[in-house]
Structure formats: structure tokens, C-alpha cells
């Protein structure tokens, strides 16, 4: 038996802001998250993600970001700005090189190392969104 979201599917899908500069990984992540019933907002840089957050932070249920990426901001900067300005948004960090601690992320964040397994990523997305549901 399927577990339906409260409201018998009437509730809007949870929105994940996915920030990854590798186009292949970004497309793959968005595809698997959409297959799981999430809405996704893909961005290829932390700078672009911040612009989206300035307009739509109230709609975002999870920030999923890589740490290392080009631009003025990296994923750690984005996570810190998000935690400062929009503490209601849970943070999920992925990296093949750093950890949230080594990157200087000062807010609580879930972490997954690259390369990650599909099931591991989906479990972590689910638990991070659920454990932070306070709004």
C-alpha cells in the first residue's frame, strides 16, 4: 500500500533547489528527485541559486548543493547565506573533496560524499526534509 502525502495528493510537491555545476550530475539528480515526487529547481552556480532564493525562498523545502563550483560564491558560501537568511530551509551538502566542517559551513547540514549511491542520496533527501519540517 502506498503512503500518500497528507491531503490525498492535493499538497504541492516539496521543492528542492539543486545546485551543481556539473551538468550531467545536475540533470541526473533532478531526474531521480522528480521520479520520487519532488519538484526541483536546478541551478548551475551558487550565484544563480542565491538569486532564486531571494525571489522564492518561502517555496524551497531543501537546498541540495555541491561545495566546489565556479562563481563568486561556492556551495559553502551559499549554505551559510541560506542558514543566516532563511533558517527554515534544511541544508544537504555533497562533495567529493570537502566536508561541511572543512568548507567552513557554520549551520547544521546533512552531508553526502561523492560518489554517492542512488538509494543513499534519496534516503538522505527524505530524512533531511522530514526532520526539518517545522513550518
pTM: 0.89
Residue 5 contacts residue 14 (beta carbons within 8 Å): no
CB of 66 within 8 A of CB of 75?
A: yes
Collapsing DSSP to helix, strand or coil, 78 comes out as helix
Q: Which tens digits make up the pLDDT trace of 64-110?
A: 999 999 999 999 999 999 999 999 999 999 999 999 999 999 999 99
Tell me the pLDDT tens digit for each residue of 118-129: 999 999 999 999
Q: From residue 11, how far is each of 58, 61, 78, 89 by CA, in Å? A: 15, 13, 28, 18
C-alpha cell at 97: 573533496
Q: Is the dihedral of CA 6, 12, 13, 14 positive or negative?
A: negative
Amino acid at each position: 500500500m502506498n503512503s500518500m502525502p497528507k491531503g490525498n495528493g492535493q499538497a504541492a510537491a516539496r521543492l528542492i533547489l539543486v545546485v551543481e555545476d556539473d551538468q550531467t550530475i545536475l540533470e541526473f539528480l533532478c531526474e531521480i528527485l522528480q521520479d520520487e515526487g519532488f519538484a526541483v529547481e536546478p541551478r548551475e552556480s551558487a550565484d544563480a541559486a542565491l538569486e532564486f532564493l531571494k525571489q522564492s525562498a518561502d517555496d524551497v523545502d531543501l537546498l541540495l548543493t555541491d561545495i566546489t563550483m565556479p562563481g563568486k560564491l561556492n556551495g559553502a558560501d551559499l549554505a551559510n547565506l541560506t542558514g543566516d537568511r532563511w533558517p527554515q530551509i534544511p541544508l544537504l551538502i555533497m562533495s567529493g573533496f570537502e566536508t561541511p566542517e572543512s568548507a567552513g559551513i557554520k549551520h547544521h547540514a546533512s552531508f553526502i560524499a561523492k560518489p554517492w549511491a542512488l538509494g543513499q542520496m534519496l534516503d538522505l533527501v527524505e530524512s533531511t526534509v522530514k526532520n526539518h519540517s517545522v513550518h
